[in-house]
Structure 1
Amino acid sequence: MSEQRLRQVYAYHFDSKHRPERYAPGPGGLDWATQPDPFRTFEDVPRIRLPLPTQAGPAFADVRAGRRPEAARVDLGHLAALLRLSMGLSAWKAYGDARWALRCNPSSGNLHPTECYLVTGGCLGVPGGVYHYHSHDHCLEERASELTEPAAAAEPAGLVIALTSVHWREAWKYGLRAYRYCQHDVGHALAAIGYAAATLGWSVEPLDWPDAALAARLGIDRAADFDPQELEAPDLAVWIGKGPPRHAEIEALLNRPRSYAGRARPLSPDHVDWPGIHLVHQACERDSPRPVELAEAAPLPPLVDREGGQGAAALIRQRRSAVAFDGRSAMTRDAWLSILDALLPRAGVPPFDAWPRAPRVSLILFVHRVSGVTPGLYALVRSPEHLDRLRKSLRPDWLWSVPDEVPAHLGLYRLVDGDACDAARALSCHQAIAGDSCFAVAMLADFDVALADGAWRYRELFWECGSIGQALYLEAEAAGLRGTGIGCFFDDAVHALLGIQDTRWQSLYHFTVGAPVEDVRLRTEPPYAHLGN
């Protein structure tokens, strides 16, 4: 069975690649009449309205460096702040009669396949149960209530947040490749939760619940409650609170009897089935608990503080995906190195403390416009274990030299000099943003080594890429720039440029950072004015 699952993953990965001569199988055109509703709503369930936070919170410079404030109380108000800064709306955009919402967690095509749930034994303002977070209305929908009232506690230490995916939301636009994008979005959402938790002084720790157990606890395995084409896939669960979870608390949350209610309102009137997505989802299922291995590496020096004291909450809410770059502006060398340093995993530092596995992803950098840095290709090796394997897999004639005055811990190597703008643009499905930026990124996964642990590692590779992307988004904003995730690229053309001739390393996600060109035709409106706030 294990070998069969791996074969299915490799088959899906091959079939879902974009190529210059043909893109991965997709719908061919957009059927606007069946565009999925981006907001999941459960009917006939009680709701708890959440307050909108008013306190400024810590500076982003403190959050990115792992300097947390004193842990906040686990109650309704602080849960509202956590959800607002991770999964909530950040603004509305409007053009003519068209209007669409932006969120703090980015999504491929702004389609938002990721749903968020809370599992709690109860805290001030929130009775014990299972709740779905409705980002449009900033409220909790009660999916399950406790059958027995637990003994009163002075204050809970934390709770569980779980993420799921509605694959149809992405498949509507992207077809077979949608499964990849759903996993990217899980990584973005996980990192967004990590940053938001840090503003409250809370820690985040992944749990080892198998998929079936997670689905049962959330009630998403109740087929009668969902349209069969709009089922939610269980992704992950994390403990969030004042400290690490205690085993007894987790077991109590997992096994507590509950009464489920409500039915999901349909998202689309019609659907297109993509069997390849169902097959890879089944192949990647985690059907038994497994320990969450913690990364073991030499500690890194603290991040150098950025200038300025912009609040983390304000910066998180202002995050946007750039639609165009000016193709002229350069960023400073110090700002570039600071961004790269923030992409290395540090113990207790968001966002990678929310997924503290040994890194499986390193980066190829297309450097275009960084003052004092020679344009060309560079490598950011995020784990010392990657270096030898990368050197053996990439082109043998490349330099692998350490740029002058670069911190020794950074793992930054110069590979080849030259203008890489045209290459970055062509490889990213001819999108100008990849060449008009200050620098672009190809995220290379240690593919075969990761999958040797099991087929379920496939989606976790994308989660790591999404977490890196979320860090890039916020670091770019803090530097006065803007970022954009790029899911459309020619997979094997990237590998050919780099000299990769097998599946030991695979490019799973691209990103680009630069000086944005704003579309002045668009209006920006407040996120929650429709709630009277």
Structure 2
Amino acid sequence: MGRLSQALLEYHERSKHRVNSYAPGPRGLDWATQPDPFRVFHGTPRMALPPAADTLAARYNALRSGTLPPAQRYSLRTLAVLFELSLGLSAWKSYGAQRWALRCNPSSGNLHPTEGYLLCPTLPGLSGGVYHYLSRDHVLEHRAAVDDPRWTEAFSDGGVLVGLSSIHWREAWKYGMRAWRYCQHDCGHAIAAVSYAAAALGWQTRLVETAADDALAALLGLDRSEDFGAAEPEVPDVLLWIGNPDAQPEPERLWAALDKAHWRGYANQLSAGHESWPDIDSIHRATHKPRTREPTSPSPEPRLWSATPALDLSFAQIARQRRSATSFDGTTRITTAAFFTMMACLLVRRDTPPWNALLSPVAVHPALLVHRVDGLEPGLYVLVRDPGALPGLKQAMRPEWLWQRTGPDHLPLYLLLPYDLRAVAKLICCHQDIAADSCFALGMLANFEIALKQPWRYRHLFWECGMLGQALYLEAEAAGARATGIGCFFDDEMHAMLGIKDHAWQSLYHFTVGGAMVDQRLSASALHQE
């Protein structure tokens, strides 16, 4: 095992929650150093974005089945819709004198470590260059003005780039060492949120998988220490191409075009004080991504299945009403039709959001603890999203599991054990009632050997988990239910229950869907409600 793989494995083991000891974290929350949830670049020209999402006619059910509307022009108005329905504010909550914003992209603890950027040529209403999206004000901050023909040529076939970065401190303030994992989950949610919003505008999305982290940092201006000073650093995550998949620009070509760009603005400091978490720095170094080749072996396409959810909602409505449930009622049930429909949308189709963003083969498979699905026996199930993974999953788990094919022919769903697992679900999810009170809970099993061979893909495994979570969030809303992601779980309790004894497969994210209790703290649901 190489040095980077060993550092990755050490972080993974040290950041696990265990029944008798949680992963290292702060002893208590220091409210005086609570991070500002909004990064601002002071001194940048600002471009106000119109709240134009209500002009969008796209229906969620059409997008989820791969039926995209005709592509709209790239302009200030359409990019405003893209950011509003992916990274924008969706509602406000208040409790006593406290008030805080919710966003279309979910986040662990509502701490939002993910920042969004736009790289574009000159468009109607918008100059070419690099922009930072400030969700609080729904504006683009013009970080870099680019006057280089190579920049224009790179976008000559149409399209824009969306960059995502993370501020680790935002999560570490509350969650300590394990925060790095949550930053990756949130990045995955954001990737999916951008993919769905782009599809609603008729645009395809692709993750620029070849780009090196150093190139991303330069393109987004994150390597400009003079612009950050004492402000918390941002680390590059991913670059998303929104446009013709065959016309994706080369990141290095864009990087060269930034040679003489005029950068403006200085990052705000988010906290007055900080606690150091060396393990986060260590895993960040271990998973640093070099330039790589384009993936060439996508997973087989599943057969198309067009079952419809219970509610036919516009995409704008479903994106803005998505919430993380804080508790479930413990009585709500869903139908098998609703359950099978949700599971079908977790299967990869390359023309359909959010999976159109990925080129790499499927690496994550949900292990489901089903509690309240009418017509489906309570018990343990696995959705095998890539048929090629079935032998490895069987070999890694208990030999006594049934592996009985269940449900419609198109759905690779297997029953392992018929049993009431509500108490088990609660135990695994750090003793949280929400896992037992749900209609079903699940853990996301990742092919961990991928990360041990290519450490930078450890991040990608978490991203794929976050994308699965975002798909389930929207599917739950369309079914008249609600969902929530669970980052606090006992990793090895899940593995022991399944019979996993080595690192071939690891559970990286947990999730639940059920009937939500009403959250009385919701005070407004408009983008710029004051």
Q: Is the 8 A contact 2:91 2:522 kept in 1?
A: no
From 345, 353, 357, the counterpart of 1:342:
345
Hey, what's the Cα distance between the residues in 2 that align with 1:68 and 1:294?
Answer: 25
Shift of residue 301, structure 1, vs aligned partner: 1.8
SS in 2 for 1:8: helix
Q: Is the 8 A contact 2:150 2:253 kept in 1?
A: no
Q: Is the 8 A contact 2:404 2:415 kept in 1?
A: yes
Hey, what's the Cα distance between the residues in 2 that align with 1:487 and 1:248?
Answer: 35
Shift of residue 458, structure 1, vs aligned partner: 0.4
Hey, what's the Cα distance between the residues in 2 that align with 1:181 and 1:68?
Answer: 31
The answer to whether residue 318 in structure 2 is matched with residue 315 in structure 1 is: yes
Shift of residue 514, structure 1, vs aligned partner: 0.1
Instruction: Determine the structure 1 residue equivalent to 2:385.
Output: 382
Q: Cα gap change, 1:316/1:7 in structure 2, threshold over 3 Å: closer, same or farther?
A: same
Shift of residue 474, structure 1, vs aligned partner: 0.2
Of stretches 394-403 and 367-376 in structure 1, the one that deviates more from structure 2 is 394-403
From 331, 334, 341, the counterpart of 2:334:
331
Shift of residue 228, structure 1, vs aligned partner: 5.1
From 230, 233, 244, the counterpart of 1:231:
233
Shift of residue 299, structure 1, vs aligned partner: 4.0
Instruction: Determine the structure 1 residue equivalent to 2:395.
Output: 392
Instruction: Determine the structure 2 residue equivalent to 1:451.
Output: 451
Instruction: Determine the structure 2 residue equivalent to 1:39.
Output: 38
Residue-by-residue CA offset, 1:223-243 (whole Å, 9 max, x unaligned): 1222456111101101102x2
Q: Give me the TM-score of the superposition, normalised by structure 2.
A: 0.96
Q: Is the 8 A contact 1:239 1:245 kept in 2?
A: no
The answer to whether residue 112 in structure 2 is matched with residue 107 in structure 1 is: no
From 340, 351, 355, the counterpart of 2:354:
351
Hey, what's the Cα distance between the residues in 1 that align with 2:326 and 2:459?
Answer: 27
Instruction: Determine the structure 2 residue equivalent to 1:368.
Output: 371
Hey, what's the Cα distance between the residues in 2 that align with 1:152 and 1:504?
Answer: 45
Hey, what's the Cα distance between the residues in 1 that align with 2:290 and 2:381?
Answer: 39
Q: Is the 8 A contact 1:303 1:342 kept in 2?
A: no
Hey, what's the Cα distance between the residues in 1 that align with 2:343 and 2:55?
Answer: 30
Residue-by-residue CA offset, 1:391-439 (whole Å, 9 max, x unaligned): 1111111111112xx2223110001111100000010000110000000
Q: Is the 8 A contact 2:189 2:466 kept in 1?
A: yes
Residue-by-residue CA offset, 1:309-361 (whole Å, 9 max, x unaligned): 31011011000000010001110110000000101111201111112321100
Code of the residue aligned with 2:13 in structure 1: it is F
Instruction: Determine the structure 1 residue equivalent to 2:461.
Output: 461
Hey, what's the Cα distance between the residues in 1 that align with 2:392 and 2:152?
Answer: 54
Instruction: Determine the structure 2 residue equivalent to 1:217.
Output: 219
RMSD of the TM alignment (CA)?
1.8
Code of the residue aligned with 2:24 in structure 1: it is P
Q: Is the 8 A contact 1:165 1:233 kept in 2?
A: yes
SS in 2 for 1:402: strand
State how 1:164-175 maps to structure 2 within 5 Å.
164-175=165-176
Instruction: Determine the structure 2 residue equivalent to 1:297.
Output: 300
Q: Cα gap change, 1:415/1:271 in structure 2, threshold over 3 Å: closer, same or farther?
A: same
Instruction: Determine the structure 2 residue equivalent to 1:246.
Output: 247
Hey, what's the Cα distance between the residues in 1 that align with 2:493 and 2:68?
Answer: 43
Instruction: Determine the structure 2 residue equivalent to 1:267.
Output: 270
Shift of residue 97, structure 1, vs aligned partner: 1.1
Hey, what's the Cα distance between the residues in 2 that align with 1:151 and 1:117?
Answer: 16
Hey, what's the Cα distance between the residues in 1 that align with 2:15 and 2:343?
Answer: 29
Q: Cα gap change, 1:483/1:165 in structure 2, threshold over 3 Å: closer, same or farther?
A: same
Shift of residue 196, structure 1, vs aligned partner: 0.2
Shift of residue 490, structure 1, vs aligned partner: 0.4
Of stretches 257-266 and 144-153 in structure 1, the one that deviates more from structure 2 is 144-153
Code of the residue aligned with 2:158 in structure 1: it is A
The answer to whether residue 90 in structure 2 is matched with residue 90 in structure 1 is: yes
Q: Is the 8 A contact 1:101 1:527 kept in 2?
A: no
Code of the residue aligned with 2:236 in structure 1: it is P
Q: Cα gap change, 1:233/1:130 in structure 2, threshold over 3 Å: closer, same or farther?
A: same
Hey, what's the Cα distance between the residues in 1 that align with 2:358 and 2:304?
Answer: 20
Q: Give me the TM-score of the superposition, normalised by structure 1.
A: 0.95
- Structure 1 spans left out of the alignment, 5+ residues: none
SS in 2 for 1:441: strand
SS in 1 for 2:483: strand
Q: How many residues align?
A: 525
Hey, what's the Cα distance between the residues in 2 that align with 1:129 and 1:331?
Answer: 48
Shift of residue 364, structure 1, vs aligned partner: 0.6
Instruction: Determine the structure 2 residue equivalent to 1:286.
Output: 289
Shift of residue 247, structure 1, vs aligned partner: 5.4
The answer to whether residue 24 in structure 2 is matched with residue 25 in structure 1 is: yes
